[in-house]
Each structure stands twice: as C-alpha cells, then as structure tokens.
Amino acid sequence: MPCSIAPGKILLFGEHFVVKGKPAIGMAVSVYAKTCVSKGVGIVESGQLGILVDLSSRVVNDRGVHKIIEELSKRGILKNNFHAVIESQIPIGSGMGSSAAVSSALAHALTVFSGFEPSKELVWEVSFEAEKIYHVNPSGIDNTLSVYGGIILYKDKSFRRLEIKWPEDIYIVVVDSRIKRSTGQVVADVLSRYEKYPTIYSRIYEAGEAIVTEALKALETGDFVRLGELMDINHGLLASISVSSSAIDRIVWSIREAGALGVKVSGAGRGGIVIALVEEARRDNVSNRVRELGLEPLLAKPDLKGVRALSPYG
C-alpha cells in the first residue's frame, strides 16, 4: 500500500514582521502527516482529524481535501478507485502547517497510487490550491516547507532555500500550548496596533529584520549559541507587539530556566506553539520541565527532504 509523509513547520524568525515585507526564516521539522492509499470507491478519511470525503455517497466535510481530488482528476492523474487514510502527528491550528502537510501527503500518496510521478512541482501546485481554501490569502510558506523540506528564507512572496549543516546534538523542542487562536484575527489586531503607533512599530519591525540578518550569519557559521540568543530577542519583540501572553511566557520562561539555548513563540502567537533550541545535554531537562507544565514536548530536527513516499516505495 503506498504511503506518503510530509513534514510540519515552525517559524524560526520573523513572523508578523513578514506581513509588512520583512524577511522570515521557516523550517520544516520532523513531525509528520501521513497518508496511505489502497483500492476503493473514492474515499478520503481520517478518524483522527474528523475528515470524510466519500465520492460514492457524495459526502464532503472537508473542501480542501475535495479540492485535491478535483485538481488531480482534472490533470488526468486520479480516477475514483482509491481509499486514502490520513493520520497526523502535527498539532492542529497551532501554527505548524498541519493543513499543508496533510494536503501534501495526500496529493503525493494519491499520485503514487495512480502510477504517476509525484513531482515536487505537482504536489506544490495541488497543495497550494487546498491552502487557498483553508486560509485566506496564504503566503505559501507552509506548503513550500511541507513539499520541499529544509530551511527557507521568505521575503516578498519569494523563497530561498538555505543550505545549513545542522548539528546532530541540537534539537528543536516544540511545545503546543493547546491555546487556540485565529491567525487572521491576531494579524489584524497587530496591524491595527501598527497603525496606532507607526513610528514605534516600524522600528520594532526593523529590529526584526536585523535579527534575520544576524540569524543567517549564525546559521551559516554554525553558531547555535548566538542563534538561541537571537530567538530570545525575537520573542521579546513579539511580546512587545502583544503576541505573547502570560500562559505563553510561562512556557517560555520554564524552558529558558531549564537550559535551552533560546526560546520563542512561533507563528501568529497568543497561543499555538512555543519552540526552543536545545542541546542534547539539556534535552531531558527541558522535556521534564515541559511535562511539569502538563504539556508534551515534541523533539524535532529539521526535515530536509519534504514530502516523500515511505519505504519501500521511495
């Protein structure tokens, strides 16, 4: 049975500032959505995610999934003879690009099942069509990372892949705060505050850009102590534009005190995920502190490959 996986993502630097044309750095991480396909009557389902699209009985409770079927059918790739089952390790609605990873894994697995080559370009195009349904005006950063993997610099709607040597003993610890937020609402609120204090906010956003410039150097030279400090500064800026909260700061400070190199909220903020850069020697300490807060640490590394078939198919 062909199965495909696609990674989720984090934003290492630059969220919110990117909305005003500043650069951001995103990274695909080793937390995955998976789809397996066998012969059937045109069904995509996920008990875990509450998805059911059944072409035989015309049930569609997920328009993004339906769009993927439509796009692949339109291209002559897909017939109605599939039964796809989706599972995911990626927290939903937390800024980890769950919808993009699910869409990429599904488009890839359906294409392989149908006997066609699942090129990165094809999976990107199809998953982006689904992203347009899930999110108003998506930047494309989420499905670019789920399809291509790696670490990317994003600016003005264009992407540059960064070739970084990531050390074996450095982890990204991801913590889902389990506090739900709407990216659209947080972005709108931040933009209205920007309008109220433009001279102050423009300086904060410039500092955000300077952090990305410094972070690129730290990544290229392998200076992960500096990278962590830059994450701390970035979190401070995000707090100053009101996208942290007492609950998020409690997580951030607990992880900091447990010895992380750097910690920040990732994505829209006011909830969602907190990410930490952690050396192997501090990994268990950090994980235990997260568990003491009643939360679960996800120990991740960069995913450099993006969407792919699971062995023995790929």
**Active site residues per annotation:** 142
| Residue placing its CB nearer to ligand PMV in the complex, 14 or 228 | 14
By CB under 6 A, is residue 143 in contact with ligand PMV? no
State phi, psi for 176 to the nearest 5 degrees: -85, 115
Told to check if 131 binds ligand PMV by CB under 6 A, we report no
DSSP state of 96: S
The string of DSSP codes covering 137-198 is S--SHHHHHHHH-SEEEEETTEEEEE-----TTEEEEEEE------HHHHHHHHHHHHHHSH
Interface with ligand PMV, residue 91, by CB under 6 A: no
Quick check: 271 binds ligand PMV (CB under 6 A)? no
Q: Which helix (H) or strand (E) holds 3?
A: strand 3-13
Residue 8 interacting with ligand PMV (CB under 6 A): no
Q: Which of 123, 147, 241, 268 binds ligand PMV (CB under 6 A)?
A: 268
Binding window for ligand PMV (CB under 6 A); candidates: 14-22, 71-79, 207-215, 256-264? 14-22
DSSP H/E element including 54: strand 51-54
Q: Give how far Cα 78 sits from Cα of 9, 35, 75, 81, 107, Å.
A: 28, 15, 8, 8, 10
7 belongs to the binding site for ligand PMV (CB under 6 A): no
Q: Which of 30, 183, 234, 244 binds ligand PMV (CB under 6 A)?
A: 183
Stretch binding ligand PMV (CB under 6 A), from 12-20, 29-37, 56-64, 143-151:
12-20
Residues numbered 95-114 forming contacts with ligand PMV, rule: CB under 6 A: 95
Q: Considering only residues 39-58, where is the footprint of ligand PMV by CB under 6 A? A: none
Distance CA 205, CA 281 (A): 34
Q: Applying CB under 6 A, which of residues 7, 271, 272, 302 lies at the interface with ligand PMV?
A: 272
Pairing of strands 82-88, 43-46: parallel
Q: Which is nearer to ligand PMV, 43 or 90 (CB)?
A: 90
Distance in Å from the first CA to the final CA of the chain: 12
Please give the residue whose beta carbon sits closest to ligand PMV in the complex: 267
- Smallest gap from Cβ 11 to ligand PMV, in A, equals 6
> CA distances (Å), 70 to each of 33, 36, 53, 124, 126, in order?
21, 19, 12, 15, 9
Site string for ligand PMV, 203-222 (x = CB under 6 A): --------------------
Question: Cβ of residue 31: shortest distance to ligand PMV, in angstroms?
Answer: 14
Supply 269's token pair.
Answer: 């903020």
Phi and psi, residue 173, nearest 5° = -95, 125
Q: Under the rule (CB under 6 A), what is the footprint of ligand PMV?
A: 11, 15-16, 18-19, 95, 139, 183, 187, 267-268, 272
